[in-house]
């Protein structure tokens, strides 16, 4: 893992007063957060709250106000190659070239390690094969991207990011298209890599129970602002979730003590009053 620009003691990812304006609208305002090396930070919030925008701003992909620091260095000061060795970003719905094979697409994650006129090394091929294997994609290596299901595509996008072997992983909704087994497989794999290589993971997650299970810390965004931050037990609180998601929920501790969030149906109208109203 490359980390030679690290400022000792600096958070792996930090934003200070981060703001983003898109199409003349302020979609993020004054967001200050940090993730320590090896930490898993989950960004949660209702649709349109600015979660994806936050990840794109941290990845240095869009103009912004305020500061974004990676290992203590301003992200815009990093050369693209250097930045790509430090930060891997898996977008929610990237445009994928339909004729490119799964293997060639995942191999693109090695670009920051391949010299300009050079070709990939045995090590690049080995890393790519190993990640495809760990994501159950080894049988798909020769398949064109246009011939994949939604969940397979999502795992390929994650594969490319993991192949990058960057110490900071930004994952935008990595599990939305995945079945239960693959959700668990992907999140467990990310967590194992995090623990083994001290990766810092920043992910948006709509599934609040999964966010609570995997993340060390959560940031709740609402209308572009960070309205709560802290450990899962503090942020996944019924009043906060009801206020910002407009949902009826029950939060209870799971087997490991981390909070599980359940949707609770509003009371149904009684059959008699339903008939009367009809």
Ligand X SMILES: Nc1ncnc2c1ncn2[C@@H]1O[C@H](COP(=O)(O)OP(=O)(O)OP(=O)(O)O)[C@@H](O)[C@H]1O
CB of 62 to ligand X, least distance (A): 9
Query: Phi-psi bin for 217: left (phi > 0), alpha (psi -120 to 50), beta?
Result: beta
| Number of amino acids touching ligand X (CB under 6 A) | 12
Considering the complex, state which of residue 21 and residue 184 has its C-beta at the smaller distance from ligand X.
21
- Among 101, 99, 106, 104, residue whose Cα is nearest residue 142: 101
Q: Which of 45, 167, 232, 259 binds ligand X (CB under 6 A)?
A: 45
CB of 48 to ligand X, least distance (A): 4
Beta strands in 155-243 (DSSP E): 168-172, 200-204, 217-222, 225-230
Q: Which of 4, 25, 79, 252 binds ligand X (CB under 6 A)?
A: 25
Q: Which of 47, 115, 149, 270 binds ligand X (CB under 6 A)?
A: 47
CB of 92 to ligand X, least distance (A): 7
CB of 211 to ligand X, least distance (A): 13
The answer to whether residue 50 forms part of the interface with ligand X (CB under 6 A) is yes
Q: Which of 4, 8, 9, 23 binds ligand X (CB under 6 A)?
A: 23
| Terminal Cα distance for the chain, rounded | 65
The backbone torsions φ and ψ at residue 240, rounded to the nearest 5 degrees and listed phi first, read: -65, -40
Binding segment toward ligand X, per CB under 6 A, in 9-17, 46-54, 95-103, 241-249: 46-54
**HEC profile for 28-52?**
EEEEEEEECCCCEEEEECCCCCCHH
Query: What contacts 210, CB < 8 A, 6 or more positions away?
Result: 175, 183, 187
Chain residue at closest Cβ approach to ligand X: 23
Strand partners for 201: 40, 169
The answer to whether residue 154 forms part of the interface with ligand X (CB under 6 A) is no
8 Å CB contact between 12 and 168: yes
Binding segment toward ligand X, per CB under 6 A, in 43-51, 81-89, 130-138, 177-185: 43-51
The CA radius of gyration of the chain, in Å to the nearest whole number, is 20
10 Å CB burial of residue 138 (0-12, 13-18, 19+) is middle
The answer to whether residue 19 forms part of the interface with ligand X (CB under 6 A) is no
Considering the complex, state which of residue 57 and residue 131 has its C-beta at the smaller distance from ligand X.
57
The answer to whether residue 53 forms part of the interface with ligand X (CB under 6 A) is yes
The answer to whether residue 228 forms part of the interface with ligand X (CB under 6 A) is no
What whole-number distance in Å separates Cα of residue 214 and Cα of residue 267? 32
Q: Beta strands 73-74 and 25-35: pairing type? A: unpaired
Binding segment toward ligand X, per CB under 6 A, in 9-17, 30-38, 51-59, 186-194: 51-59
Binding segment toward ligand X, per CB under 6 A, in 20-28, 79-87, 242-250, 252-260: 20-28
Binding residues vs ligand X (CB under 6 A):
22-23, 25, 27, 45, 47-53
């Amino acid at each position: 893992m490359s980390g030679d620009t690290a400022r000792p003691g600096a958070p792996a990812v930090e934003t200070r007063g981060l703001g983003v304006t898109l199409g003349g609208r302020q979609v993020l305002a004054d967001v200050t957060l940090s993730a320590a090396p090896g930490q898993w930070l989950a960004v949660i919030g209702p649709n349109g709250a600015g979660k994806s925008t936050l990840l794109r701003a941290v990845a240095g992909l869009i103009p912004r106000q305020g500061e974004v620091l990676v290992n203590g260095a301003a992200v815009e000061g990093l050369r693209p190659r250097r930045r790509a060795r430090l930060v891997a970003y898996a977008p929610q719905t990237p445009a994928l070239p339909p004729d490119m094979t799964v293997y060639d697409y995942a191999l693109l994650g090695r670009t920051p390690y391949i010299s300009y006129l050079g070709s990939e090394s045995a090590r690049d091929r080995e890393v790519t094969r190993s990640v495809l294997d760990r994501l159950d994609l080894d049988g798909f290596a020769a398949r064109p991207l246009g011939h994949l299901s939604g969940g397979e595509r999502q795992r390929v996008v994650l594969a490319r990011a993991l192949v990058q072997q960057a110490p900071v992983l930004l994952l935008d909704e990595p599990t939305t298209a995945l079945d239960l087994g693959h959700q668990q497989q992907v999140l467990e794999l990310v967590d194992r890599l995090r623990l083994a290589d001290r990766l810092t993971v920043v992910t948006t997650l709509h599934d609040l129970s999964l966010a609570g299970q995997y993340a060390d810390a959560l940031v709740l965004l609402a209308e572009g602002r960070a309205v709560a931050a802290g450990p899962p037990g503090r942020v996944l609180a019924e009043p906060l979730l009801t206020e910002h998601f407009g949902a009826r929920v029950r939060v209870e501790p799971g087997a490991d003590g981390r909070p599980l969030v359940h949707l609770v149906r509003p009371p149904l109208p009684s059959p008699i009053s339903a008939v009367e109203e009809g």
